[in-house]
Amino acid sequence: MPAEFILIPGRTSKQGTSLNEGKYTDNYQTEINTLQMNPDDMDRLSIAEGDVVRVWNSFGSVDVPVKSGKAELPIGVLFISYGDKSCRLMGGETHGSGMPDSKGLDVLLEKVES
């Protein structure tokens, strides 16, 4: 049964520093390809650090490993650094603003059984 979440893509300090090292370094790629989740949500859905989850909405679907967002993230909210994965969940509609919905995206999440 998929769980409903709100995804907030954003920037992190680690993304900023690894960006200067290069977008194809392990540090940068790890940062943009890891999903952060509230620890209580992880417990509720029996998800451990490193487990892969599928996140999707009407625009796309991505598989990403999870790490704990600790106390930073409220329950029901996910975070991922901007990058290929977050792009795949963004639609092209900007509602006349030029800006696609880039934060606060409604998504569904399910653990990918290995």
Partner 1 sequence: MATEIDQEKAPAKLKIVEDATCTFCGCVCDDMELTVEGNTITKAKNACVLGKSWFFNHHIEDRPEAMIDGQPASYDEAFDVAADVLFHSQYAITYGLSDTTCEAQRVAVAITDWIGGNLDTTTSVCHGPSGMAFQGVGEVTATLGEIRNRADYLIFWGGNPAESHPRHFTKYSLMPKGQFVPNGRKDRTAVLIDVRKTKSAKAVDTFLQIRPRSDFELAWALRGLARGIDVDPSVEEKTGIPLEQLVEVMEGMKRAKFGAILFGMGVTMTRGKHINSEAVLALARDMNRHTRWIAKPMRGHGNVTGADNVVSWSTGYPFGVSLTRGYPRFNPGEFTSSDLLARREADAALIIASDPMSNFSQPARDHLASIPVVVLDPKLSDTARIAKVAFTTATYGINTTGTVYRMDDIPLPLRPAFESPFKSDYEILKAIEARIRKRQLQAVS
What token pair was written down for 19?
Answer: 């960006």
Q: Minimum distance between the CB of residue 16 and partner 1, rounded to whole angstroms?
A: 5
Q: Distances in Å between the alpha carbon of 99 and those of 13, 37, 84, 92, 102?
A: 23, 25, 17, 9, 8
Helix intervals (H) in 1-114: 13-21, 26-32, 39-44, 84-87
What token pair was written down for 31?
Answer: 């940062």
Task: Report the residue number, 65 or 82, with the smaller CB distance to partner 1.
Answer: 82
Give residues in contact with partner 1 (CB under 8 A).
6, 8, 10-13, 16-24, 59-60, 69, 71-74, 77, 79, 82-84, 86-104
Task: Report the residue number, 24 or 113, with the smaller CB distance to partner 1.
Answer: 24
Q: Minimum distance between the CB of residue 113 and partner 1, rounded to whole angstroms?
A: 26
Task: Report the residue number, 67 or 88, with the smaller CB distance to partner 1.
Answer: 88
Q: Minimum distance between the CB of residue 8 and partner 1, rounded to whole angstroms?
A: 6
Contact 83, 12 (CB under 8 A): no
Task: Report the residue number, 6 or 48, with the smaller CB distance to partner 1.
Answer: 6
